[in-house]
Amino acid sequence: ALGVRSKGAIAKHIGALEKQGLISRKRENGTFGIELYPKNSVGNSVARIEWLEIPGESESDEASEEPLLVPNFLLGKSNANQLRAFLAPDDSMVEEQICKGDIVLVENRPFARDRDCVIVYVEEKGALIKKFFRRGADVELRSANSAFDDIVVPADQIEILGVYKGLLRPIS
């Protein structure tokens, strides 16, 4: 089908695919096999981004989905191992151009600075995406949409899951 007739040419093509991380060769008990898209590598041009783990969510939810594969050039200088994906649950940040259903890329870290856009877990409300502001012993979580109320909670009642780094919007 490829118009290749020699075993040497086939071996070169397989070698090139292996160098790109798209396949791996396996040799067991005198037999040879090829595995497509090995689990430990998806190539040099694509990064594997895991979904953000949300406290209280079962494993059958978003966290158990297949990892998100993102072209490396979209990540800039960000380290793919430090990034997680989060599905925006609502339009509370629409004035920051983050809409319901967008895939938000977050840096996986437990702290934030004032004005950072964060993914935060609040006991009664679940995972939210808001702007972060310290107010003494409290934290104010501001929406970027006038239809949503801002939330003020004691700092010890929230858990910062990550800080906004980028956005992917599915084509609809």
Among the listed residues 24, 41, 92, 146, the single catalytic one is 92
Query: Would you call 78 a catalytic residue per the annotation?
Result: no
For residue 60, what pLDDT band results from cuts at 50, 70 and 90?
very low
pLDDT top residue among 42 and 126: 126
Integer Cα distance of 122 and 118 in angstroms:
12
Integer Cα distance of 54 and 145 in angstroms:
23
Among the listed residues 19, 130, 143, 146, the single catalytic one is 130
SS3 content of the chain, % helix, strand, coil (to 5): 15, 40, 45
Query: Would you call 92 a catalytic residue per the annotation?
Result: yes
Q: pLDDT tens for residues 69-106?
A: 888 888 888 888 899 999 999 999 999 999 999 999 99
Determine the pLDDT at residue 89: 93
For residue 38, what pLDDT band results from cuts at 50, 70 and 90?
low
